[in-house]
Structures are given as C-alpha cells and as structure tokens.
Structure 1
Amino acid sequence: MNWDLANPFVIDIRVGAEDIDGLGHANNAVYVSWLERCAWRHSQYLGLDLAEYRRLDRAMAVVRHEVDYLASAYEDQELQMSTWIVESDQRLKMDRRFQLIRPADGVTLLRARTTFVCIELSSGKPKRMPAEFVEGYGRALQRPFPLEL
C-alpha cells in the first residue's frame, strides 16, 4: 500500500448499503464516521479504551476536522483506513492524520487531519493530559526523520 507516512495503524472497512447516499456513493458523513472508528480503534490498541478514559476522567475530544474527499467509494468495496499521530504538545492538543485507500486499485479516496483536545469527562472542560495519555499516545507519535546530509 502506498501510505503517506511510515508505520500506519490500519483498519479494514467494507462499504455497506447503509453507507450509500442518493448520489450512489458513500456519503461524506460516513467517511467522518470511519475517521472516528479508526482513531478509536487505534486508541484502544494503545491501551486507552473507554474504561481507561472513565477511570482517568479524561478523553480526547475532536475540535477540528480537515477532510479532503478525493474519490468516491461504492457499495461492497473493500477499503483500508490508516491513521498516524503526527503532533502532540503532551499537554492539551494532539493531531492525527488519516488516509483512506481502495486496495483494488491503490487509489487514495480521502486524506484528513483531526485535532483533539484533552477534556475532563466530568466537567467537559479542557484539562491537561494525564501521564497515561502522554505515554500511550506518545508511543505512537510519528517522529520526523533527520535530513540526510
């Protein structure tokens, strides 16, 4: 697969009939739900599931999506969505990038970037990331490669 960055976390997606809109392709809102699914599965993989969020009284909440829809997806197509954590101030904010590819022809259907802010679940207010978030999400942070001279 021709991923934009190395070492992606990848999930498989099958486009269902319920994903199709009146124009005959996957609705743009469905793509956003796939972003959420991919990010959530990656968090779970990193040991930061809903039970851990509740225990810590913290969560990473979406504050911004930037989505480039590049090509359409159709019913019964098999897709792969990847994600990378590309920025984190290790206090409040974290950014993920996403790429959606149709493996049958290698076409990238979507590129996106999402910004998350750490919140306290009990109040809904922004709060500093707990050590568990800094460690867990930090393990997945894409480090820039040094330039070769």
Structure 2
Amino acid sequence: MGQLFEQVLTVQSEHLDVLGHVNNVTYVSWMQDVALGHTTALGLTLEDYLQMNHAMVASEHHVKYRKACLLGDQLILRTWLGELGPFSSVRHYLFYRATDQSIVFQGHTVWVCVEISTGKLKRLSPTFVQAYQPLDPEIDPTHFASE
C-alpha cells in the first residue's frame, strides 16, 4: 500500500498575484512539482519513462482553494495516490500551513498513461501498477497531530 509524500516550501514573492495572495496558477504548478517529487521517490524518473516509452500525463485537475496564503507562509505540500484503473491513476493533494495546520488547498488529478512516441492512451504497465499503489486505508491524510 502507498504512503503519504510531503514537500515543504516557503511562499516567495514570485508566487503572489496582484492582491498579494498565492496565485491560483501557482497551486497547479505545485501540484505538478509534488507529484514529480513523489514519483521520483517511488523510483520512476524521466529516464525510466523514456526507456519504457510511456508516461503519466494529466487529464483532469480538480481544485479547491480553502484559505489564502501570503508571503512567508511555510506550506506542507502533501500528496498520495488513490484509485488505480487500467489506464489511469488518481493523485490527491492537500496543502496546509505549517504554523497552524490550516488546510489551504485540496485537489486531485486524473493521470492517464500514454505512449510517448505516439501520444496514444496505453494500459498501465506492471511497473506503474507496482509503483502507483493507493494510500494505505489505515492512513488519514488529514491527520497532522504527529507532525
């Protein structure tokens, strides 16, 4: 079963919009960054994708902005894997502020497997099925008390 993966970051000026809050596009970029970090931690790199001639690409993003984040906020970007289908995997995201453990953002992405050389949909390889295991049901991704 899968585990949670986290990255820590501090909000910088380049993350902000004209109102001084983290820009909504930045959150999507962070979704991609933490997904890539998790995938790499699971042992799959760009070189692996190229060698196998298939990769996971985003098909759908669903996002919910819960609280504004400001310059200097330290955030924990948390991700985990969910439902696994023959051609797809769902990845969940929960970003929270370290100081007060407030959830600031939630979302999920449907990732689909494609053949790199053609761009056509491809069934998940055994390598992907082994790596992209759903979160252990005993783990509560909203539990922060032990951190």
TM-score for the superposition, normalised by structure 1: 0.88
SS where residue 40 of structure 2 aligns? helix
Aligned pairs for 1:1-149 (under 5 A) are 7-89=3-85, 91-138=86-133, 141-144=134-137
1:144 positional shift: 3.7
Paired letter, 2:31: L
Distance 1:130 1:8 in 2: 22
Q: Distance in 2 between matches of 1:26 and 1:81?
A: 14
Number of positions where the alignment pairs a residue of Structure 1 with one of Structure 2: 137
Find the counterpart in structure 2 of residue 3 from structure 1: none
Contact 1:12–1:81 (Cα < 8 Å) also in 2: yes
- Two-structure CA RMSD over aligned residues (Å): 1.3
Separation of aligned partners in 2, 1:35 and 1:14: 15
Partners of 1:7 and 1:124 in 2: how far apart? 30
Structure-2 separation of matches of 1:7 and 1:46: 10
Q: Distance in 1 between matches of 2:137 and 2:16?
A: 38
* Identity across the alignment (%): 33
Q: Which amino acid aligns with 1:13?
A: L
**1:50-109, CA deviations, whole angstroms, 9 ceiling, x for partnerless residues?**
1111111111110101000001111121100101101101x2010011100001111100
Q: Is the 8 A contact 1:86 1:143 kept in 2?
A: no
Q: Which runs of 5+ in 2 are unaligned?
A: 139-147
Are the structure 2 counterparts of residues 7 and 137 from structure 1 closer, same or farther at C-alpha, using a change threshold of 3 Å?
A: closer
Is contact 1:56–1:130 with CA below 8 Å preserved after alignment? no
Q: Confirm or deny: 8 A CA contact 1:57 1:121 kept in the other structure.
A: yes
Q: Give TM-score scaled by structure 2 length.
A: 0.89
